[in-house]
Amino acid sequence: MSTWQAPAAAGGVPALYAALARSYAALVEGERDFIANAANLAALVYHGLPELNWAGCYLLRGADLVLGPFQGKPACVRIGPGRGVCGAAAARRTALIVPDVQAFPDHIACDPDSRSELVVPVLAPGGRLLGVFDLDSPRPARFDAADRDGIQELVARWVAASEPPPGP
């Protein structure tokens, strides 16, 4: 079993995500459980990236997104189809960067301190939607394309390392 260490920020954002990817690979080595690997991803990202107040996932259960492993304050438990940033990212099956959540139509305010958000869909091989991975920040415009790309890579590693949950 390996021990996790916080990655160094030297080398800028791409280097930080590369370090997170290496750390995540060590965390999931030999583990195929989807939920356990999601929990470690949420913890790694929450503690490894600056200026976050929430990191975690919502998993598709029927038509709804239901709260999964996360780090941060308590969150909304269930998100209906297409609702909020998470529901929109799931419906579009594309990552969404929202610089100002207060300007996003139908934003669901689980934490009034959140000002910006990044949501990445979690897709199984073949494109089946499994859920979304969600990051919130108290800083407006916290997330950019480098964050989107880095989180998409980490989510892809989560899915590749895990046995996906059974689907419809």
Q: Which of 21, 110, 99 is nearest to 70 (CA)?
A: 110
| Average confidence (pLDDT) over 26-41 | 97
Which pLDDT belongs to residue 3? 40
Predicted structure pTM score? 0.91
Which pLDDT belongs to residue 152? 98
DSSP the chain: -----PPP-TTHHHHHHHHHHHHHHHHHTT--BHHHHHHHHHHHHHHHSSS-SEEEEEEEETTEEEEEEEEES---SEE-TT-HHHHHHHHHTS-EEES-GGGSTT---SSTT--EEEEEEEE-TTS-EEEEEEEEESSTT---HHHHHHHHHHHHHHHHHSBPPP--
Quick one: pLDDT band at residue 148, thresholds 50, 70, 90? very high
pLDDT digits (tens, 9 = 90+) for 59-100: 999 999 999 999 999 999 999 999 999 999 999 999 999 999
CB 152 within 8 A of CB 95: yes
C-alpha to C-alpha distance for 11 and 22, rounded to whole angstroms: 15
* Residue-averaged pLDDT of the chain: 91
User: Could you give all domains of the chain from N- to C-terminal order, each with its CATH number?
Assistant: 12-161 (3.30.450.40)
Q: Residue with structure tokens 């390996």?
A: 2
Which pLDDT belongs to residue 2? 39
pLDDT digits (tens, 9 = 90+) for 41-60: 999 999 999 999 999 999 99
Which pLDDT belongs to residue 167? 66
Which pLDDT belongs to residue 10? 59
C-alpha to C-alpha distance for 97 and 135, rounded to whole angstroms: 10
Quick one: pLDDT band at residue 9, thresholds 50, 70, 90? low
